[in-house]
Structures are given as structure tokens and as C-alpha cells.
Amino acid sequence: MGGVEVVRFRYFFHRWQNLAYEGGILAKLRQNRWRYLQVPFFFFFQLLALIRILGKRKFDVIHAHWLIPQGLVAIWALFLRKGPRLLCTSHGADLYGLRGVWLDRPKRAIIKRTAALTVVSRVMAELAVRLGAKAESLHVISMGVDAQTLFTPARRGERRDHELLFVGRLVEKKGLTYLLGALPAILARYPRASLSIAGSGPEEERLRFLAEKLGISDRVTFLGPIPNPELPHLYRRAAVFIAPSIVAESGDQEGLGLVLAEAMACECPVVASDLPAIRDVVIDGVTGLTARERNSADLASKVIALLDNPDLRKRLAEEGRRHVLARFDWEVVADRYARLIEVLAQ
């Protein structure tokens, strides 16, 4: 796949193997607790696959994405197959959503045994330090977006005046409840406005019911999952991209909010919740606007402010793209990871 060898592993009967994807493992477990039966099999067969790979070839570095489960699996494998150094990347849910004594202990153990730990935002680095990460082995490196060839600005006439857009998994921490709650006020000011929701997840049925209840279902379109190459068309078409993220009841929250960087790379004006990790991407009044978390009225007022002011939209959009090119472009991020991996491989 793009020059990368992908090794897949089966961990359960094919018909019921559904622990990952479509919202993520944590959301899947909350949706159906019978899926906890798959967890030990997932760990075991991923470990077995990794041990087999390490037995066939020599590697200098293992890069594990997420502390749990991948980081934990890598630690176990390295007890049996010495050699590679471990680089682990935490994306957010593993630090924020997996909490409690019985989960903090393995996270601390994993962090202690990694040669380097990367996190995708500055606020995550603070939490990682509290869990025992050492400053010399901790690096803030966000995930990147292809801002040069894929996520690029709209052509003249492509952007629509009143189309609103959300892209992401349909899970609690994305805060779509509050975006739907804001839509009636937006429609009162702009009756032609519409909201497109790109993504899937366990909250979809509840969100559809809420749209019906609010009487806005005719102005909301659930697009389902959209392939990555098709997302730029949505970002270029939208007047405003909205990310109403919240801190979920479990404590899970955004590690960064990469879809915001995608939208900004396409020069789409953005409104996002004022959460610590999101501040790395959206600088209020400079690269976008922020609204108070869990506050539909404030969210609506910020969206209306952008729809009211084309000049403000243009200024934020242009500055947003410059910010993405400097900090989140693939070339920038890839270079930082390349230099880190080269050091670890020595």
C-alpha cells in the first residue's frame, strides 16, 4: 500500500470480528459490552503477529501508535524478541479516555520502557509528564495533512455561501449534539443554511432522532463515511467547517483535531470548541473562531458571525492555510519523524 507492506491479522471469528474501526475500540465497547470478549483475542493475536514478524526480519525501530493496545503489545513482544527500540505515539484517547489506577499503571510502564514518546499536542505533553514521561524522550509532533497536493484551496465559484460541514466519527466526544442544537438559531438567521455530516459511528441513530425532534432533519444530510481523497471537495464547498468537540463523560477528548487542519488547508473558515488541544490548530480570531464547549448558543453565534462577514471568512481562511503549511503539512511532520527515527536507529 503506497510502498508500505501491510500485515493483517485475524483475532476473532470473521463474522463477529468488529472491535475496531467505525468509531474506535472504546466507542465500540460502550456500544456493545459483549465485544469485551474479543479484547483478549485482539491482544493475543496482534502479539503473535508481531512476534512472527520480529522473528523473520531485523528491525531497528518499532513505531507503535497508541499506548494501549499497540504500545503494550510491543512491550510484551520485546521481552521475547530483543533488539528494536520502541517509539510510541499517543493520539489522545489512550491518555484521556483510559483512566483509573488499573489503566494508569500499564500506561506508566509503557512510557517508562519507550525510547521515545510522541504526542500530538502540547496539552497532551503535560499529561504525559504527569504519567512519568521524561523531557528528553518526549516530543510534540502532530499528525500531518497533505496540504500540497490533496487538501488545497477551492477554485473560484466552488464554495457555497450557506453550506455548513462536519467531518468526523459519530461519537460522544465530537459534540454533534450541540451542533444540531445550534442549527435552529442559525436557520432562523439563514433559512437556506444546511449541514452536511460526513462520518459514521455508534451515535448516528441517536443523532438522526435528535434532528427529527428539533425539526431540522430536512436541513441535515448524513453522508456516511467519505473516502479521504473525496474530503477536499467537501471542505472546498463549505462556507464554514464546524468542530463542536467536548470532553466526554469518560474523560476522552480530542488529542488534536486533525480534520480542522484539513479544512484550514482548503481555506475553509472554521469554528471549533475552545478545548486545550484544539488551540494548537485554531487560534481564536487569527486562524478561526472558538466557541464555549457544550454551548449551542455560543456555537450558533460564532457560525452566524462568519456567515455575516465574508471578509472575516476570507482573512481567517487565508491565515489558517498559512498556519497549516508551517506546522501540519506532511513534509514538515515527516521530516520531524524522520530525524527522530534516525536518532533512535543509531
DSSP reduced 3-state for 10: coil
Per-residue model confidence (pLDDT) at position 300? 98
Residues in contact with 154: Cβ distance below 8 Å, sequence separation at least 6, in sequence order: 236, 237, 266, 267, 268
265, burial (CB in 10 Å: exposed 0-12, middle 13-18, buried 19+): buried
**Mean pLDDT, all residues of the chain:** 93
Per-residue model confidence (pLDDT) at position 20? 84
Percent of the chain residues past pLDDT 90, beyond the cut: 77
In tens, the pLDDT along 239-291 reads 999 999 999 887 778 888 899 999 999 999 999 999 988 999 999 999 999 99
In tens, the pLDDT along 3-45 reads 999 999 999 998 889 888 766 787 788 888 899 999 999 999 9
Residues in contact with 322: Cβ distance below 8 Å, sequence separation at least 6, in sequence order: none
Cα–Cα dist 10/39, whole Å: 12
Query: What's the Cα-to-Cα distance from 299 to each of 19, 26, 107, 148, 334, rounded to whole Å?
Result: 33, 27, 35, 31, 34
In tens, the pLDDT along 80-117 reads 888 899 999 998 878 876 666 677 888 999 999 999 99
Question: Is pLDDT of 154 > 80?
Answer: yes
In tens, the pLDDT along 107-146 reads 999 999 999 999 999 989 998 999 999 999 999 999 999 9
**Pairing outcome for strands 194-198 and 116-119:** unpaired
pTM of the model: 0.85
Residues in contact with 39: Cβ distance below 8 Å, sequence separation at least 6, in sequence order: 19, 29
Per-residue model confidence (pLDDT) at position 95? 81
Where do runs of H (alpha helix) occur along 166-242? 176-189, 204-214, 231-237
Please tell me the total number of residues recorded for the chain in this structure: 346
